[in-house]
C-alpha cells in the first residue's frame, strides 16, 4: 500500500493530549474508532495454535548485521492486517548477540510518519548512531545504527521498539517491537540450562474488522491505553507445548503501551531467574510475576502432569483516577494470555543452579542526590486537557534537565503525586531500587523500569558509569511519554 503522508494537524495531535477529538483518516493503518468497544472488531483466527517464535537473526564472528524495515501489513492473531511490523512480522525478528559484538542495523522507514529505534535496556552508548533517542528517520529513508555491545554486558533479555517522541505509543500499539537477546559469551554454556527456551513478547492492540489499528481518544491516552486484544508473539491465546518435567525458560517481555501484566500460571509456580536482563542472585519461586510496561522477567517453568494450564493476566489496579477524571483505572482481567499444554513422556531436565551470576550492587560513595517528580494535572496543551510533566515541564529535546558527571553514583527519589502509577524508565544506565513507598520489596538487581506507586515514590541508586552522552528518562506509559512526560540527562566525561 502507499500510505498518505502524515498531516501537520495529526502530528500536533499525536504530540499532545489537549485536543478533545483527534484527526482521523490521515494514515492507512489507523482507523477512526467508530462503533464502540464491541462493534466491528477483528476476530482472531488462530486461537489455540502452537506458540511460534519470531524469526531469529543470530550474530556470527562478533557481528550481527541486519536490515529492519518498518512497514504496515502483517499477520496478527491469524489474520492479515494493516498493523505494523519489522520485515513483515510483528513482533519483528529476535536479534541475538553476544557481549563484545557489534550490532549493525539498517532501519528503513516505510511508514507514513517518522520513526527511529531504541534498544531498550541495552548498556550501549547513547551517542551518534548508537542508542540515540533524538534521531529521526523520515518516511522513505534509511538510517544505519551501530551498537557496540561491551564485553562485560550481562547476558539476558532486552527488546527494541521505536522511540520517536510523539508517535511511540501509536507505533508500538501498531505492532512495532521485537526481542533482543544477549547470549553468554562464545564458548560459555547457558547460565540456566532448560529443555526449552522461549520468547513470550506480550503486546496489546485494538484492530477493527478490516484489520486496521483503532485510533484511541484523548481519555484513553490520559489513562494509558489498553488494547482489547492481548497477544503473545502476535498470536491470540497460543498453546505452549510442554512435556512433563521438561523445564522451559520463558523470557517474558511486556511490550504493551500501558498495561501492567500480573501473570500467573495455573498450578505452576514460576521460578524467576532474571529481571530486566540481569540475573537474580539465585532462583526465586513466585506465585505471580509483575511486569510494568517495558519490564522483562525470565522465569523457569517445570511442567507437571498432563493437562492444560492457562497463563492468566490478572486484573490490576493502576491507581484511582476517580477524583480527577471520573473513572477508574483497573486493567481488565483475569484473562487468558496463553495455555501450557502438557503431554507426552516425562523428561528429566538439568537441575537449576543454586546461584546465578547476579551483578553486585554498585559500590562506592553516593556522590549526589536528586529529587524528580512525575506529575499529571489539568491544563495541558490546547487548554482543557491533561498535562504530563516531569518537574513541571514537558519534554524539550534541546534542554538539559540533569547535568551529571561521568562516574557519579547518584540516589534519586522519584515522586508521583498523581493518582495513577507511572513506570519510570531510564535509558543506558540501569538503576537499583532501594525502596518503594508502598512497601513492595525491591528486586535487588539493576533494572530499567520501575512502577512508581500512585501518590508515592521510589528511591533509586544509579551509577552513571560506562557511557557519556545525552539520553532520556520518562514514563513508560508511552501515551504519557508522547505527551511530554520525558526529560533529558547529559552525562559528561
Ligand atoms: Cu522501552
Ligand atoms: Cu505516566
Ligand atoms: Cu525510552
Ligand 1 centroid–CA 161 distance in Å is 7
Ligand 2 centroid–CA 473 distance in Å is 12
Return the SS3 of 13: helix
The ligand whose atoms approach the alpha carbon of 161 most closely is: 1
| CATH number corresponding to 56-182 | 2.60.40.420
Residues with CB under 5 A from ligand 2 (ion): 422, 475, 477, 480
For the stretch 105-147, pLDDT in tens is 999 999 999 999 999 999 999 999 999 999 999 999 999 999 9
* Cα-only R_g, the chain: 21
The ligand whose atoms approach the alpha carbon of 319 most closely is: 2
Q: Could you say which residues of the chain have pLDDT below 70? A: 1-26, 34-39, 321-330, 379-384
Q: What pLDDT, on a 0 to 100 scale, did the predictor assign at position 39?
A: 61
Ligand 2 centroid–CA 229 distance in Å is 21
Residue positions counted in the chain: 493
Instruction: For 123-154, give one letter per residue: b (16+ CB within 10 A) or e.
Output: bbbbeeebbbbebebeeeeebebebebeeebb
The CATH number of domain 368-492 is 2.60.40.420: yes
The ligand whose atoms approach the alpha carbon of 480 most closely is: 2
Query: Cis link prior to 91 (omega < 30° from 0)?
Result: yes
d(CA 439, CA 23): 43
- What CATH class is the domain 196-342? mainly beta
Region label for 277, one of left (φ > 0), alpha (ψ between -120 and 50) or beta (otherwise): left
Q: What pLDDT, on a 0 to 100 scale, did the predictor assign at position 44?
A: 98
Residue corresponding to grid cell 498450578: 267
Q: What pLDDT, on a 0 to 100 scale, did the predictor assign at position 10?
A: 35
For the stretch 332-366, pLDDT in tens is 779 999 999 999 999 999 999 999 999 887 778 99
The yes-or-no answer to whether 56-182 and 196-342 have a common fold is yes
Q: What pLDDT, on a 0 to 100 scale, did the predictor assign at position 322?
A: 53
Domain limits, the chain: 56-182, 196-342, 368-492
Q: What pLDDT, on a 0 to 100 scale, did the predictor assign at position 317?
A: 84
Amino acid at each position: 500500500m502507499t500510505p498518505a503522508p502524515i498531516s501537520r494537524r495529526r502530528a500536533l495531535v499525536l504530540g499532545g493530549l489537549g485536543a478533545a477529538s483527534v484527526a482521523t483518516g490521515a494514515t492507512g493503518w489507523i482507523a477512526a474508532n467508530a462503533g464502540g468497544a464491541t462493534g466491528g472488531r477483528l476476530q482472531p483466527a488462530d486461537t489455540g495454535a502452537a506458540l511460534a517464535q519470531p524469526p531469529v537473526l543470530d550474530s556470527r564472528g562478533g557481528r550481527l548485521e541486519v536490515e529492519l524495515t518498518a512497514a504496515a501489513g502483517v499477520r496478527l492473531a491469524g489474520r492479515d492486517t494493516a498493523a505494523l511490523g519489522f520485515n513483515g512480522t510483528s513482533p519483528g525478528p529476535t536479534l541475538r548477540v553476544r557481549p563484545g559484538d557489534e550490532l549493525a542495523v539498517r532501519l528503513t522507514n516505510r511508514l507514513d510518519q517518522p520513526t527511529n529505534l531504541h534498544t531498550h535496556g541495552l548498556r550501549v552508548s547513547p551517542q551518534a548512531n548508537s542508542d540515540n533517542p533524538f534521531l529521526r528517520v523520515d518516511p522513505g529513508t534509511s538510517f544505519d545504527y551501530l551498537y557496540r555491545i561491551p564485553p562485560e554486558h550481562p547476558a539476558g533479555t532486552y527488546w527494541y521498539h521505536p522511540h520517536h517522541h510523539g508517535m511511540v505509543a501509536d507505533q508500538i500499539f501498531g505492532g512495532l517491537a521485537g526481542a533482543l537477546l544477549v547470549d553468554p559469551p562464545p564458548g560459555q554454556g547457558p547460565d540456566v540450562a532448560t529443555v526449552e527456551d522461549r520468547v513470550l513478547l506480550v503486546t496489546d492492540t485494538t484492530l477493527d474488522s478490516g484489520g486496521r489499528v483503532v485510533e484511541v481518544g484523548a481519555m484513553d491516552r490520559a489513562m494509558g491505553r489498553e488494547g482489547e486484544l492481548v497477544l503473545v508473539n502476535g498470536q491470540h491465546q497460543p498453546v505452549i507445548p510442554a512435556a512433563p518435567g521438561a523445564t522451559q525458560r520463558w523470557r517474558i517481555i511486556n511490550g504493551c503501551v500501558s498495561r501492567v501484566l500480573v501473570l500467573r500460571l495455573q498450578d505452576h509456580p514460576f521460578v524467576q531467574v532474571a529481571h530486566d536482563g540481569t540475573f537474580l542472585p539465585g532462583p526465586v519461586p513466585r506465585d505471580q510475576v509483575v511486569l510494568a510496561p517495558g519490564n522483562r522477567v525470565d522465569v523457569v517453568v517445570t511442567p507437571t502432569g498432563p493437562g492444560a494450564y492457562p497463563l492468566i493476566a490478572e486484573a490490576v489496579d493502576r491507581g484511582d483516577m476517580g477524583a480527577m477524571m471520573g473513572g477508574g483505572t483497573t486493567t481488565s482481567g483475569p484473562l487468558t494470555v496463553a495455555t501450557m499444554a502438557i503431554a507426552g513422556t516425562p523428561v528429566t531436565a538439568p537441575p537449576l543452579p543454586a546461584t546465578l551470576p547476579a551483578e553486585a550492587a554498585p559500590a562506592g560513595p553516593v556522590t549526589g542526590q536528586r529529587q524528580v517528580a512525575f506529575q499529571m494535572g489539568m491544563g495541558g496543551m490546547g487548554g482543557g486537557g491533561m498535562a504530563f510533566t516531569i518537574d513541571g515541564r514537558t519534554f524539550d529535546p534541546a534542554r538539559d534537565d540533569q547535568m551529571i558527571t561521568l562516574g557519579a553514583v547518584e540516589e534519586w527519589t522519584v515522586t508521583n503525586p498523581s493518582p495513577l502509577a507511572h513506570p519510570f524508565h531510564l535509558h543506558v544506565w540501569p538503576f537499583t531500587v532501594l525502596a518503594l513507598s508502598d512497601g513492595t520489596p525491591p528486586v535487588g538487581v539493576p533494572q530499567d523500569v520501575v512502577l512508581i506507586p500512585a501518590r508515592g515514590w521510589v528511591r533509586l541508586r544509579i551509577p552513571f558509569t560506562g557511557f557519556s552522552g545525552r539520553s532520556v528518562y520518562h514514563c513508560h506509559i508511552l501515551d504519557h511519554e508522547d505527551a511530554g512526560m520525558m526529560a533529558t540527562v547529559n552525562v559528561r566525561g
